[in-house]
Amino acid sequence: MTPPISEPARIMLVDDHPMLRRGLADLLAMEDDLQPVAQAGSGEEAIQIATSIEPELDLILLDLNMPGLNGIETTKALRTAGVDAKIIIFSVSDEHSDVVEALREGADGYLLKDMEPEEIVLQIRAAAQGKTALSPELTHILASAIKGRLEPASQPVDLTRREKDVLELIAKGQSNKLIARNLEISEGTVKVHVKRVLHKLGLRSRTEAAIWALEHDLAKSI
Amino acid sequence: MTPPISEPARIMLVDDHPMLRRGLADLLAMEDDLQPVAQAGSGEEAIQIATSIEPELDLILLDLNMPGLNGIETTKALRTAGVDAKIIIFSVSDEHSDVVEALREGADGYLLKDMEPEEIVLQIRAAAQGKTALSPELTHILASAIKGRLEPASQPVDLTRREKDVLELIAKGQSNKLIARNLEISEGTVKVHVKRVLHKLGLRSRTEAAIWALEHDLAKSI
DNA sequence: TTTTTGTTACCCCTTTGTGGGTAGCCTCGA
DNA sequence: TCGAGGCTACCCACAAAGGGGTAACAAAAA
C-alpha cells in the first residue's frame, strides 16, 4: 500500500478549528508517505500559502464550512490561481449539491467528517495517487446524478412562487430583460430570482435551469 | 452487517460461463442473507426467468459481455418488462461509457470481476439494501461524468456535424469553455459554431438552442 | 411581540455569450 | 486543377448573465 521510494505527499490542512487540524496532522504524520507541511485557518490563508509555498503542495484537505471563503469557493480560487495540488473537501454535509458542486469546481475528493480515521488515511492516500477520494456513502449521490434524478436522498426542491415564475420563463428561452417585462418587475429583481433558482437547484447557468425545468416538467406551454 | 429477521435476498446469476456462475453461487450461498435461487446463461434466458419466477427476485447479477443481449441491453429489457429487482452489472470493463450507460439504463451497481470475493459479497449486500454497489475504482468515472464530458453523436438536421456536436453539449447545459474542452478545440472555435447554430435555427440564445435541441430530440442526457 | 421568509430593488464586479470580421488548412467533387 | 464547404483560430466590440453585497417592506410564522 505504501509507495516504494517516492517522496511523501506534502499536505496542507485547512480548517477554522485548530483542534481538528491538530488531530488530523497527528493522524497523517504517523504515515510515512503522508506529510502535513502546512495548516491554514481560512480559505484566504490557504490560498496565500498554496501559491507561495516551496516545494509545491501535493494535496490540500479543505473544510467545507468556514467563515469567509468556504471550501468550494476556496477550491475555485485555488484552481483559478493555478494550484494543481489534489484538493479534498472535508465536510459534515452530505448534501447533493455540495458534493456535485465541489467536484465540478475541481475538487478531487469529498470526505465526510464522521469517517473512521483509518478510512480517512486510506482515502487521502488514494487521492494523492490520483484517484477520486469519496466517502462510500456518497457514491449513490453521484450515481443518481448520472441517472438524472436528484431526489432519492436529497432535498425536495422548494422554489417560491416567484422563482417558479422566473424558471418557467427561463425554460421558454427568455432573457432576464424579457422576463422582467413579462412579470412587470425590474431586471435586477429577475436576476435575484435567477440566482436563487440556480443555487437551490445546484445549477450553473440559466441553460441548465431550462433543461432542468423541461426534464422536471416545470415548463408550461411553450 | 447481517440484517436481523428479514428474508434472505433472492438472487439470480447471469453469465455465459457456467464455471463463473458456479463460483459465484457457492460464494453467495455461504452468506445467510444472500440466496442464489436462479442462474441464466444469456440475457434472453434471464429475462424469461425474471418475468416468471415466484416469488420475485430481489437482485440480478448480470454479466456485461455475453453473446446475444449484453448486460446493458438486458438491463434495459428487464426494466421495460417491469422487473424491479436490483440489477448489478458484473464486468471486466472499466470503460467510462459502459459504467455511465449501465446506470442510465437502470442498473443499481457496477462491479468489476477482479474484485476480491469478500468485497463482492459486501457490495451485493449493499445493493440488496438499496445502496449503489460500485467498485471503488469506478468512482472517478462518475466524478468525471459529473464534471462534464461525453462522446458525441449525430442526428438529422441541416446542421453540420460539428454544429450538432456543439448543440448537443449546449443541450447538456455546458458553457463554451467546457464544450471546447470536451471537443478538444478552442473556445473561439466553439463560439463560431454556436454563432452558426443560432443563425441557422433562427434563435437568439444558447438557452433557446438547448430547448430546441431537447424538443427535437437532439440531446442525450448525461 | 419578534423573527423569518419572500419580494422588490439597487450597488459592485467578473465571466460568459453574442455578432462581426479575416484567414489558413482540409477534403471532396466538378 | 480549382473552388466550395467545413473546421479551425484568432481579432474586435458590446450585451447578457452570474455572483457578491445591502436594504426596504409586507406577510407569515414563532
CATH of the domain at A196: 1.10.10.10
Instruction: From B146, B174, B208, give the residue that closes a domain.
Output: B146
Task: Say if B13 is an interface residue toward chain A (CB within 8 Å).
Answer: no
List the domain range (segments joined by +) for residue B185. 153-221
Per residue in A133-147, pLDDT (tens digit) is: 888 877 777 766 655
Indicate left, alpha or beta for B161 from its phi (over 0: left) and psi (-120 to 50: alpha): alpha
Q: Which residue has the higher pLDDT, A68 or B51?
A: B51
Tally A–B CB contacts below 8 A: 84
Per residue in B35-93, pLDDT (tens digit) is: 999 999 988 899 999 988 888 899 999 988 877 788 888 888 888 787 889 999 988 77
On whether both B115 and B24 belong to a single domain, the answer is yes
Chain A residues 193 to 222 whose Cβ lies within 7 Å of strand D are 194-195, 198-199, 204-207, 209
State how far the Cα of A127 lies from the Cα of A58, in Å rounded to an integer: 10
Q: Which residues contact B162 (CB under 8 A, 6 or more apart)?
A: B183, B193
Measured in angstroms, what separates residue B199's CA from nucleotide C19's C1'? 10
On whether both B100 and B31 belong to a single domain, the answer is yes
- CA separation, residue A71 to residues A59, A74, A191, B32, B150 (Å): 14, 5, 25, 44, 27
Residue A4 lies in a domain: no
Q: Which of A140, A146, A205 sits opposite B104 (nearest CB)?
A: A146
> H or E element: which one contains B110?
strand B109-112
Chain A residues 170 to 189 whose Cβ lies within 7 Å of strand C are 183, 185-189
Q: Which amino acid is at A216?
A: H
Q: Indicate yes or no: strand C within 7 A of the C-beta of B39.
A: no
Among the ranges given (A39-48, A105-114, B186-195), the one the predictor scored with the smallest mean pLDDT: A105-114
On whether both A139 and A176 belong to a single domain, the answer is no
Q: Which amino acid is at A34?
A: L
**Three cell numbers at A12?**
496542507
On whether both B102 and B19 belong to a single domain, the answer is yes
Residue A215 lies in a domain: yes
Residue numbers in A near B104 (CB within 8 A): 146-148
Residue A25 has pLDDT above 50, yes or no: yes
Number of separate domains in chain B: 2
Residue A177 lies in a domain: yes
Residue A1 lies in a domain: no
Residue B3 lies in a domain: no
3-state SS of B145-158?
HHHCCCCCCCCCCC
Query: Is the distance from CB of B71 to CB of B43 less than 8 angstroms?
Result: yes
- Minimal CA–CA distance to A139: which of B170, B56, B99? B99
Instruction: From A121, A146, A171, give the residue that closes a domain.
Output: A146
On whether both B166 and B133 belong to a single domain, the answer is no
User: Nearest-CA distance from A51 to chain B in Å?
Assistant: 24
With CB atoms and an 8 Å threshold, state whether B104 touches A171.
no
With CB atoms and an 8 Å threshold, state whether B173 touches A203.
yes
What dihedral angle (degrees, nearest 10) is formed by the CA atoms of A146, A148, A154, A155? 150
Length of chain A: 222
State how far the Cα of A136 lies from the Cα of B12, in Å rounded to an integer: 25
On whether both A133 and A191 belong to a single domain, the answer is no
Q: Which of A175, A203, A211 sits opposite B214 (nearest CB)?
A: A211
Confidence of residue A38 (pLDDT cuts 50, 70, 90): very high
Strand partners, A88: A61, A109
Per residue in B135-168, pLDDT (tens digit) is: 887 777 776 555 433 322 223 346 788 888 899 8
Q: Which residues contact A33 (CB under 8 A, 6 or more apart)?
A: A2, A3, A6, A8, A9, A125, A128
Residue A5 has what pLDDT? 55
- Minimal CA–CA distance to B222: which of A211, A99, A167? A211
Q: Give me the sign of the Cα torsion angle B174, A130, A142, B10.
A: positive
Per residue in B84-135, pLDDT (tens digit) is: 899 999 887 766 667 777 776 778 888 888 888 888 898 899 888 888 888 8
Residue B2 lies in a domain: no
Which domain CATH number covers B23?
A: 3.40.50.2300
Residue A3 lies in a domain: no
Q: Which residues contact A40 (CB under 8 A, 6 or more apart)?
A: A12, A13, A14, A46, A48, A49
Indicate left, alpha or beta for B184 from its phi (over 0: left) and psi (-120 to 50: alpha): left
Query: Is the distance from CB of B85 to CB of B60 less than 8 angstroms?
Result: yes
Residue B30 has what pLDDT? 92
On whether both A121 and A23 belong to a single domain, the answer is yes
On whether both A62 and A113 belong to a single domain, the answer is yes
On whether both A19 and A109 belong to a single domain, the answer is yes
On whether both A40 and A122 belong to a single domain, the answer is yes
Residue A2 lies in a domain: no
Residue B6 has pLDDT above 60, yes or no: yes
Strand partners, A86: A59
Strand partners, A134: A110
Residue numbers in A near B210 (CB within 8 A): 207, 210-211
On whether both B44 and B64 belong to a single domain, the answer is yes
Q: Give me the sign of the Cα torsion angle A89, A95, A98, A99.
A: positive
Residue B68 has what pLDDT? 76
Q: Which of A100, A142, A207 sits opposite B139 (nearest CB)?
A: A142
Instruction: From B104, B121, B146, give the residue that closes a domain.
Output: B146
State how far the Cα of A186 lies from the Cα of A198, in Å rounded to an integer: 19
Task: Say if B177 is an interface residue toward chain A (CB within 8 Å).
Answer: no
Residue A145 has what pLDDT? 60
Measured in angstroms, what separates residue A155's CA from nucleotide D30's C1'? 24
On whether both A69 and A131 belong to a single domain, the answer is yes
A171 burial (CB, 10 Å; 0-12 / 13-18 / 19+) is buried
Interface with B, mutate which of A147, A166, A175 (most B CBs under 10 A): A147
